[in-house]
Amino acid sequence: MPKLGMEPIRKAALVQATIHEIGRAGSLDVTVSQIARRAGMSTALAHHYFGGKEQMFLAAMRHVLTLYGAEVRGALATAEGPRGRLLAIVRASFSPGNFRREVVGAWLNFWVLARTVPEARRLLDVYQGRLRSNLTHALRPLVGTGAGERAGALADGVGAMIDGVYLREALKAGAPDGAAAVAMVRAYLDAELGESGA
């Protein structure tokens, strides 16, 4: 009986390596060689487990998205009150983990990837859908019950704001500042909901 159960280990290593290398290069111009070397295996094995470069990218993207999703879910679990839930989502979006150089690189490039690779777009759609749903749920109790669509529209605004702030933090010269990012979205929320909207 041969060495068994390597597949998940190898795959995980490759996913990590892919994210890392994308972050290092700052773009998708990353070779399978680089990824495999960092993951400590031959390119042949990398192909064996993933079948191709694109699928490594997709797996990496899925991983980043999953982590983010888990972070949001975790934050929501302990959050109290509608406003608390709202802030929890925002904070999770700007957590240190999401600002790690590699992860930033990954996000930036996934946006590009989504324009070309259908599966990448699908993943992004899922992520945006979930974010919107979470935000809408949290917002509904805070906006007048009469305005049925208000929560959804606001959720879109917050979502866009999150992306825009993230993008700017990601592109600015120095180290990203998660707290400032949160503050900026918070100010937006305060303006929209009224500052006392606890």
Partner DNA sequence: AATGAATGAGCCTTCATTCAT
Partner DNA sequence: AATGAATGAAGGCTCATTCAT
As a whole number of angstroms, the distance between CA 86 and CA 185 comes to 10
| Stretch (H or E) spanning 166 | helix 150-171
As a whole number of angstroms, the distance between CA 159 and CA 26 comes to 24
Query: How many alpha carbons lie under 13 Å from residue 11 in its C-beta half-sphere?
Result: 15
As a whole number of angstroms, the distance between CA 21 and CA 35 comes to 6
Q: Which stretch binds DNA (CB under 7 A): 43-51, 131-139, 169-177, 190-198?
A: 43-51
Q: Check residue 1 and report its DSSP letter.
A: -
37 sits near DNA (criterion: CB under 7 A): no
Q: Are 45 and 16 in contact (CB under 8 A)?
A: no
List the single partner that 11 binds among a copy of itself, DNA, none, CB under 5 to 8 Å by kind.
Answer: none
List the single partner that 167 binds among a copy of itself, DNA, none, CB under 5 to 8 Å by kind.
Answer: a copy of itself
7 sits near a copy of itself (criterion: CB under 8 A): no
List the single partner that 137 binds among a copy of itself, DNA, none, CB under 5 to 8 Å by kind.
Answer: none
Q: Tokens 């959720």 correspond to what residue?
A: 155
Q: Are 161 and 154 in contact (CB under 8 A)?
A: no
Binding test (CB under 7 A) with DNA, winner from 16, 24, 38, 43? 43
6 sits near DNA (criterion: CB under 7 A): yes
Q: Which stretch binds a copy of itself (CB under 8 A): 65-73, 84-92, 139-147, 163-171?
A: 163-171
10 sits near DNA (criterion: CB under 7 A): yes
Q: Which stretch binds DNA (CB under 7 A): 48-56, 110-118, 121-129, 148-156?
A: 48-56
- Cβ nearer to a copy of itself, comparing 20 with 79: 20
Query: What is the b/e burial string over 24-52, where b = at least 16 CB atoms within 10 angstroms of the residue's CB?
Result: eeeebebebebbbebbebeeeebeebbee
Which residue ranges make up the site for a copy of itself (CB under 8 A)?
Answer: 25-28, 105, 108-109, 111-116, 121, 124-125, 128, 153, 156-157, 159-165, 167-168, 171, 173, 184, 187-188, 191-192
Which residue ranges make up the site for DNA (CB under 7 A)?
Answer: 1-7, 10, 30-33, 41-45, 47-48, 51-54
